[in-house]
Amino acid sequence: MPKQDTIGIIIAAGNSTRMNSNYYKQEYMLGSKILVQHAVDALKHAGIQWIIVVLNKKLEHIENYLTQDDGVHVAYQTAMKGTAGAVVAGINFLNNGNHKINHSNTTPILITCGDMPLINSNTYTKTLDFYTNKGVDVVLASTELTNPFGYGRVVRNLSGSVDKIVEHKDASANELKITEVNTGVYVANIQTLSKLLGKIGTANSSNEYYLTDIVTPGSKALTFDDAEQFTGVNTKEDFALALKIYYKRNAIMFIRNFGAIVMDIDNVYIDHDVQGAKDVTVYPNVTLQGTTSIGEGTTIHSGSRVQNSTIDKNVTLLDGSIIIDSTLGEGTTIGPYAYLRPGNSLGTNSKVGTFVEMKKSSLGNNTKVPHLAYIGDTIVGSNTNIGCGTITANYDGLNKHTTKIGSNSFVGSGVTLIAPVDVSDNSMIAAGTVVTQDIPSDALGISRTPQRNIDSFVERYRKAKASQKASQKASQGESITRKKAPRKVHK
């Protein structure tokens, strides 16, 4: 059965009470995406076209974030009556007709949880295929845990078929010994789900409508070996564990898929969607985020962070450099401790050095900004050198303006360019100059107060300072003497 004929329902309506936080767990960031977005993406990668995310009304602020993806809809669980109530809210959304989701009573529904961000898309695909091949009313995904504390147990009969799922708090002593647990992933068609949900009661220790009660004798369970992928986030400890698993798994896949070199897979932070290439070298404590793409032979040293950027071949990012929403040409060198804010484009073999900050600017090929400079809203040509301490003053207090510096030019140290200003090709700017007018080609721009030397100034200055200091000290001593009260002698 094509996965496009399946509808996904993601349960994400919980109140996150165990997180001990001012925020809901659904909006916690795992990598560059909120938790529930990971579930959406995995279903999409499994080929499921239509997805309904069930939230509580206090999470309305993430609806627009989620529904940016085609085929993703949000339903709300208004009565918080357990996980079964969340699925009912999703089915009611389908039945109210306020959407473009094609479905019938026999349309399969794959149910999963919004707080399980690590599930592989292949797991969803295999579970759907298992449902199709077995031809039973309900299929669930299960796994084995050496310590199943807190998880619902999969109870099988003597023939090995599934009888039911019993929650940990409702399990008998014998049932607590079972190590096969429910993962929260189910498949059933709309008609079957509606019928089974209608029969669910609240005869349990929590007085809630358990979704697990849709599992009845005759259901089938597909057991997965990779238990880590079903890690659920209910506490901050769970979240810390999920982060560790997520980043280590991504580091391993970064090596395996692209032929990269990762120096320490336990101490790098690579998002799922980051693209690499052969012989990319990643040192410890590097963070690669979002839609970043890295070309062959690039080396990224410790403490660097790259977000939503494109890095070409043989680039070197030295320690502590930050690159955000920028493009780096082949052979570029960055850092150490450079900061590229959004909107930068660097040509081949360019250099942005120590403590240089750039924003919304471009450098041509072989152009260098070696150290201690700010380049904002600036267009620089090729083969140009920007001296230490240079600033392009792009903001006049109301608006941002552009500075243009041509090719084959030289900007001396300590120069300030007051935008808007245009420095032509083959020009020079003398050190310490404040540029307020355009500089034509082949010209030297210079603005300095004439230097004046005062003979014998240092000796006279030091003597005056010493005399002043002695006078102040004497004055302070006299003041203390006056304030000291005379002793009284008692006879």
The residues assigned a catalytic role are 371
CA nearest neighbour of 161 among 183, 185, 137, 187? 137
Pairing of strands 421-423, 403-405: parallel
| Count of beta carbons in the 10 Å neighbourhood of residue 39 | 27
Residue 72 contacts residue 146 (beta carbons within 8 Å) = no
Residue 60 contacts residue 68 (beta carbons within 8 Å) = no
Which helix H or strand E contains 121, and what residues bound it? Answer: helix 121-134
> Is the Cα dihedral 307, 308, 310, 313 positive or negative?
positive
Greatest alpha-carbon pair distance for the chain in Å reads 117
Task: Read off the tokens for 60.
Answer: 């309305």
Using left for φ > 0, alpha for ψ between -120 and 50, and beta otherwise, residue 259 falls in left
Location of structure tokens 């109870």: 155
First to last CA, the chain: 116
| Count of beta carbons in the 10 Å neighbourhood of residue 347 | 22
Q: What is the DSSP letter of 343?
A: S
CA nearest neighbour of 331 among 367, 355, 359? 367
Amino acid symbol at 463? K
CA nearest neighbour of 350 among 338, 374, 334, 339? 334
| Count of beta carbons in the 10 Å neighbourhood of residue 395 | 12
Could you give the CA distance from residue 189 to residue 198 in angstroms, rounded to a whole number?
Answer: 14
Backbone angles phi, psi at 236, to 5 degrees: -70, -30
Residues 6+ apart with CB under 8 A from 476: none
Residue 351 contacts residue 332 (beta carbons within 8 Å) = yes
Bridge partners of 74, per DSSP, are: 53
Could you give the CA distance from residue 77 to residue 2 in angstroms, rounded to a whole number?
Answer: 29
